[in-house]
Amino acid sequence: MKMTQPKKLLSLFLCLVLIAAMALMATACNDIFKDFFQKEETTTPQETEVPAHKKNFTFIVVDKEGKETSFLISTDKATVGDALVAEGLIEGEKGAYGLYVKKVNGILADYDVDQTYWAFYINGELAMSGVDSTPVEEGATYSFKVEK
């Protein structure tokens, strides 16, 4: 039986399409079966995740009249802001520069209302970072003071 030129071209074209389809299928299946064909990895003790231990710090709130309220906070949170939010001690709004604290220990300080705001202090000095970007340090003292 003799194949004509168009039949040869059609056969060649179909073979190329079949090869391309198999290559695409193999590429797509590679991600699906990658875990199946790889050996199970074992972890060494250094690679296992160690639970974070709790850190303790003092938190002081100074209200509009100058009255101080002190709290001892024990947390496994990474930042002071996360720890204080988790304790229900601060509330605010997320802004371009992080958390804008408006309420501390239930006391509202709103610049738009009475030109007061909460100033954040670290170990008695005005903080150069926001409360939500300040890492918790063991034994440190953090405070919020109402300022005008």
* Predicted confidence pLDDT, tens digits, the chain (148 residues): 566 777 777 777 777 777 877 776 766 666 555 555 555 544 444 544 545 689 999 999 999 999 999 999 999 999 999 999 999 999 999 999 899 999 999 999 989 889 999 999 999 999 999 999 999 999 999 999 999 9
What are the angstrom distances between the C-alpha of 7 and each of 14, 17, 21?
Answer: 10, 15, 21
Both tokens assigned to 103 = 């309420």
pTM of the model: 0.65
User: How much is the CA Rg of the chain, to the nearest whole Å?
Assistant: 31
pLDDT value at residue 33: 56
Q: Hey, CA dihedral for 29, 33, 37, 41, is it positive or negative?
A: positive
Looking at residue 48, its pLDDT comes to 47
